[in-house]
Amino acid sequence: MSDIKAALLAQAIETPSWAYGNSGTRFKVFAQRGVPRDPYEKLADAAQVHAFTGAAPSVALHIPWDKVDDYADLAAHASNLGVRIGAINSNVFQDDDYMLGSVTSPDARVRRKATDHLLECVDVMDATGSDTLKLWFSDGTNYPGQDDIRSRQDRLAESLAEVYDRLGEHQRFLLEYKLFEPAFYTTDVPDWGTAYAHCVKLGPKAQVVVDTGHHAPGTNIEFIVAFLLREGKLGGFDFNSRFYADDDLMAGAADPFQLFRIMFEVIRGGGYTEDVAFMLDQCHNIEPKIAGQIRSVMNVQEATAKALLVDRAALAAAQSAGDVLGANGVFMDAYNTDVRPLLAEVRAEQGLDPDPMAAYARSGYFEKIAAERVGGAQAGWGA
């Protein structure tokens, strides 16, 4: 049990700066009280998640949403708050120039502009001490014949190679895939295989990131995780939940069993190390944002605790004996264990309140930011 506690204590779950701002659907972005007005306030909110869970020590930035004049100053602010800057997320999807694609655009000027933005993100990594660049491309086409599918792969490869060459010794990039949306016919990085093939060609500093919301219904995500880990190409996760498409709901909300199965493959595959980043990529459209992040961190911790509890020796014995029901029973025993008391103990040992949700609610932080943050423009998706 103490090994499991130690493993849980070591887990770090990164929260995204954009989860603290307003977000919504393409129909409506709802404004909430107390929402941060700048990246500094986003970091302050993220620090609350860390303060109450002890498990969220880093914060992902999104550029240009989190553009500031002095990134070293922003990093120092993070450190004063007890957190640090995590992955730098690029944004080549919100400029009119990118209507036909960014790094895959048929227009060389647009491709140059997009690649320059990715290089600028590496500059931000240098200035903040971040070691991870996360690349998601909305690129694709809407109609058959619209553009040459294969040429777009060539353009993508060319841009990725330029960014790869710019990475410092201790930096890496994670290439994210997504089945569809906003492109509806072809997507240039639609699946793990495409991301994997580009990363293999580039080298060890290029790895795949699995956003749990970016698959077709029924996709066996834990298989992808097992495969990528075996190949040394799993760089991390963007955890969130989906019921339909890319719903970006709280991790572990839609399918906690899937999250457990994923975490089991991570542990089984030797990926429960600092090399695999556990990041949240969520948008809290209707729920309070800081509490939504705390809940998500706790859900990831619960799935992890259950995965750590799997009796691997008993599982292996049942598997090699061909004992189908026995093996499944070992697996389900772990999943059906109530790990909340164990996590409460881990928190108490860290000097934290065993119930982070209740402790945050009692802290008065929300009332404080709701009163203080009036005036100015609230941060929001696309702002």
- Contact residues for Mn ion, defined by CB under 5 A: 211, 238, 281
89 binds, among ligand RM4, Mn ion, none (CB under 5 to 8 A by kind): ligand RM4
Smallest distance from the beta carbon of 121 to ligand RM4, in angstroms? 12
Q: What is the rounded distance in angstroms from the CA atom of residue 353 to the CA atom of residue 344? A: 8
Q: What is the rounded distance in angstroms from the CA atom of residue 113 to the CA atom of residue 343? A: 47
Region of residue 275 (phi > 0: left; psi between -120 and 50: alpha; otherwise: beta): alpha
Smallest distance from the beta carbon of 60 to ligand RM4, in angstroms? 8
Q: What is the rounded distance in angstroms from the CA atom of residue 163 to the CA atom of residue 319? A: 44
- The interface with ligand RM4 within residues 58-97 (CB under 6 A) comprises 62, 89
Smallest distance from the beta carbon of 18 to ligand RM4, in angstroms? 6
Q: What is the rounded distance in angstroms from the CA atom of residue 225 to the CA atom of residue 202? A: 20
Smallest distance from the beta carbon of 178 to ligand RM4, in angstroms? 6
Task: Rule CB under 6 A: choose which of 14, 66, 176, 353 binds ligand RM4.
Answer: 176
Smallest distance from the beta carbon of 253 to ligand RM4, in angstroms? 17
136 binds ligand RM4 (CB under 6 A): yes
β-bridge pairing 58-62 and 84-89: parallel
The CA angle 6-12-213, to the nearest 5 degrees, is 125
Rg (CA), the chain: 21
Q: What is the rounded distance in angstroms from the CA atom of residue 199 to the CA atom of residue 213? A: 21
Q: Of 98 and 237, which CB lies nearer to Mn ion in the complex structure?
A: 237
141 binds, among ligand RM4, Mn ion, none (CB under 5 to 8 A by kind): none
188 binds ligand RM4 (CB under 6 A): no
**Among 207, 214, 146, 213, CA closest to 172:** 207
β-bridge pairing 186-187 and 172-176: unpaired
Give me 215's structure tokens. 């698959």
The site map against ligand RM4 for 279-298 (x = CB under 6 A) is --x-----------------
The site map against ligand RM4 for 211-240 (x = CB under 6 A) is x--------------------------x--
Q: Of 189 and 330, which CB lies nearer to ligand RM4 in the complex structure?
A: 189
Binding site for ligand RM4 (CB under 6 A): 18, 62, 89, 136, 176, 211, 238, 246, 281
